[in-house]
Amino acid sequence: MTRSSAMRAAYALTGLNDPSMGDERERDVILRSYSFALVLAMFLGFLASILLAVVGLGLWSIVPIFVVGIPSWAAIWFAAKEGVDLVALLDKASKSRTRLMWAGTFGFILLWGGALSFHILMGNPLVDIRIDIGDDAGLGPVLGGGIGAVVGLVAAIVALKARSRKTQRQLAAADDD
């Protein structure tokens, strides 16, 4: 089956045909865990937009909303390219899941819209955090944080590589048996 270059890129990016996806059971668990992670990330993005609105960064609070929408749009596009209508499948969702998602959506809209409305109507945010940086732009903490992030990233990469080598040795030993 010939796929478009966008679909080939999507398959390469997701690694769905990669041996790391394991057997059917492992693949199912992996895909369900990524689904959970995606939903969690979306709710955290909504929480970030509410917090930005609460501290008076109303326009910036729109950015997380668009960012968390990208995976949903990508999923709808990907499924459509594979001949599955995700939007139509939403009609099959259980009533409890539908209620939960609508309650979450309306709760987010009320909190976010309330924080924005308060700021617009009152002229100041719910929580006013003013930071006076004066002459010192805080270069030291920024550099320290950046160096710490790089060291942490390198440590994580080294740990993952070591674990990967250990797993490869175990797989090779299992194949020898």
User: Buried (b) or exposed (e) across 54-78, using 16+ Cβ within 10 A?
Assistant: bbbbbeebeebbeebeeeeeeeeeb
Which domain, by its residues, includes 146? 137-177
CA gap 83, 171 in Å, rounded: 37
Q: Is the confidence at residue 135, as pLDDT, over 80?
A: no
The confidence score (pLDDT) of residue 108 equals: 92
Per-residue pLDDT band at 111 (split at 50, 70, 90) = very high
Asked if 47 and 98 sit in the same domain, the reply is yes
24-38: per-residue pLDDT in tens?
898 899 889 989 999
Same domain, 67 and 91: yes
Q: How far is CA 55 from CA 25, 129, 133, 134, 137, in A?
A: 45, 7, 17, 20, 21
Identify whether residues 164 and 104 lie together within a single domain. no
Residues 50 and 118 in one domain: yes
Q: What's this model's pTM, rounded to 2 decimal places?
A: 0.65
Other Cβ atoms within 10 Å of 33 Cβ, number:
10
Identify whether residues 13 and 91 lie together within a single domain.
yes
Domain count across the chain: 2
